[in-house]
A and B are shown apart, each in its own frame.
Chain A
Amino acid sequence: MSYEDDITAYHLDILREIGNIGAGNAATALSALLGNKVDMAVPHVKVVSFDEMMDIAGGPENIVVSVFLRIEGEMTGSMFFILSTTQAESFIRTLTNNKSFNFDDIGESELGLSALQEMGNILSGSYLSSLSDFTNLNLYPTVPAIAIDMAGAIISFGLVELSQAGDKVIVIDTELTDDGEKREGANGQFFLLPDPESFKILFRSLGVD
């Protein structure tokens, strides 16, 4: 029996609320950073296969910019903040006040990536601190790492822990939309992937068995 078999609809509701609170705080932080209104979609909590997990991020070959960090402490897991390259460029232009920034320019891209990494740090920090307040669990995020590559290559790395316990992923997926861009579809995605043993800890911290 796999760990995800114990997860009920009620548990999924609780996870959705965690995504709501966490990403809500991250959206507020992003809004302050960019000086724009940022909207957040209602989080999706899904139990999916590894391949379906890649599809949520646009398919295994979709090129994405990703900030990744591990959550250590009383609960462990992986967190991704995923952006399309055009959206990442747009954020970097705003953050560095360099209107012509693009990833093809090698000399510039280091500063831009560093700015984006810091943004990822602030956003995931606000997500996790609200999660920590809500659950009373001590959480210590690692310093975020950044990569631009295929979604499959990036996300599979965050599945290493999970894949030892089963063939399914429980993902809390929240999309942020930057209002200043007026672009169709999602602009940024947060994935919170708690490690299998962390679900019990998470639910217990909220008084649920």
Chain B
Amino acid sequence: MIKNIIKVGIADSGTVSPPDTIRTSGLGSCVGVILYDSRSQKAGLLHVMLPDSSLARSGEINPAKFADTGIPHLIEQLNLPPSRLKAKIAGGAQMFQFAGQKDTMRIGPRNVDAVKEALSQFKIKIVSEDTGGSSGRTIEFDPVTTSLHIRTVNVGEKVI
């Protein structure tokens, strides 16, 4: 079988089944959320950019852009009951250090908090996370092993 890597862009989401893996590149303040079901080996990835859809200033919104709309959107895409899903999350870094930071500058930690809040609403457990810091991350998830591979430029690689 040919293994493909399914790529998910910024403010986007996608799903994966074996033998493929799913990846998103260059997470900074954005948060990558993996939802997976070990039994069916189905998984999905969401690349969240902003914490809350109330921040949107235009009528039509892209649900994958926001934590509060992105999580239900991905659950719907997976078409599985939330009780069967587990989560792994990565990202939410603070890429630049500024003096006197405004709220928008703290977007990384706010994204992480909002993702956790949205997951708790569906009672989805976060199995592992690699969040915060000041490094960009590229993440890749394998639905068979349920391991999330995280690559950074400055602090090496890890698997969670």
The answer for the CA separation of A196 and B109 in the assembled complex, in Å, is 24
Whether A147 contacts B49 by the Cβ 8 Å rule is no
| Interface size of A as a range | 35 or more
Whether B27 contacts A153 by the Cβ 8 Å rule is yes
Chain B residue at minimum C-beta to C-beta distance from A52: B9
Known: A145-B97, A149-B135. A164 touches B57 (CB 8 A): yes
Q: Whole-angstrom distance from the CB of B83 to the nearest CB of chain A?
A: 32
Whether B56 contacts A157 by the Cβ 8 Å rule is no
Selected from B10, B27, B58, B138, the residue in CB contact (under 8 A) with A50 is: B10
Whether B57 contacts A149 by the Cβ 8 Å rule is no
Chain A residue at minimum C-beta to C-beta distance from B102: A70
Whether B59 contacts A1 by the Cβ 8 Å rule is yes
Chain A residue at minimum C-beta to C-beta distance from B97: A145
Whether B136 contacts A152 by the Cβ 8 Å rule is yes
Q: Whole-angstrom distance from the CB of B62 to the nearest CB of chain A?
A: 6
Chain A residue at minimum C-beta to C-beta distance from B135: A149
The answer for the CA separation of A61 and B151 in the assembled complex, in Å, is 10
Whether A156 contacts B58 by the Cβ 8 Å rule is no
Whether A150 contacts B11 by the Cβ 8 Å rule is no
- Cβ contacts B61-74/A at 8 Å (1 or 0 each): 01001000000000
Whether A61 contacts B25 by the Cβ 8 Å rule is yes
Whether A60 contacts B98 by the Cβ 8 Å rule is no
- A131 at the binding interface (Cβ < 8 Å): no
Chain A, range 116-147, C-beta contacts under 8 Å to B: 142-143, 145-147
A161: chain B residues at CB < 8 Å are 104
Whether B30 contacts A150 by the Cβ 8 Å rule is no
B93: chain A residues at CB < 8 Å are 153
Selected from B65, B97, B153, B154, the residue in CB contact (under 8 A) with A163 is: B65
Whether B153 contacts A150 by the Cβ 8 Å rule is yes
Chain B, range 39-69, C-beta contacts under 8 Å to A: 49-50, 55-59, 62, 65
Whether B65 contacts A1 by the Cβ 8 Å rule is no
Whether B10 contacts A165 by the Cβ 8 Å rule is no
Whether B9 contacts A157 by the Cβ 8 Å rule is no
A146: chain B residues at CB < 8 Å are 96
- A201 at the binding interface (Cβ < 8 Å): no
Whether B29 contacts A51 by the Cβ 8 Å rule is no
B25: chain A residues at CB < 8 Å are 59-61, 150, 152
- A97 at the binding interface (Cβ < 8 Å): no
Whether A149 contacts B153 by the Cβ 8 Å rule is yes
- B144 at the binding interface (Cβ < 8 Å): no
Residues in A lying within 8 Å of B, measured CB to CB = 1-3, 50-51, 54, 59-61, 63, 68, 70, 142-143, 145-154, 156-157, 159-161, 163-167, 196
Residues in B lying within 8 Å of A, measured CB to CB = 9-12, 25-30, 49-50, 55-59, 62, 65, 93, 95-99, 104, 107, 134-138, 153-154
Q: Which 8 A-B pairs have the closest CB atoms?
A: A152-B26, A153-B136, A153-B28, A60-B26, A145-B96, A150-B136, A60-B25, A51-B9
Q: What would 19 more interface pairs be, CB under 8 Å, given A145-B98, A152-B136, A161-B104?
A: A1-B59, A2-B58, A50-B49, A60-B25, A142-B98, A145-B96, A145-B97, A147-B96, A148-B153, A149-B136, A149-B154, A152-B10, A153-B27, A156-B49, A157-B28, A160-B104, A163-B11, A163-B65, A164-B50
A-B pairs with beta carbons under 8 Å apart, 26 shown: A1-B58, A51-B12, A59-B25, A60-B25, A61-B25, A143-B98, A145-B96, A148-B153, A149-B95, A149-B136, A150-B28, A150-B136, A150-B153, A152-B25, A153-B26, A153-B27, A153-B28, A153-B136, A156-B26, A156-B30, A163-B11, A163-B49, A164-B55, A164-B56, A165-B58, A167-B62
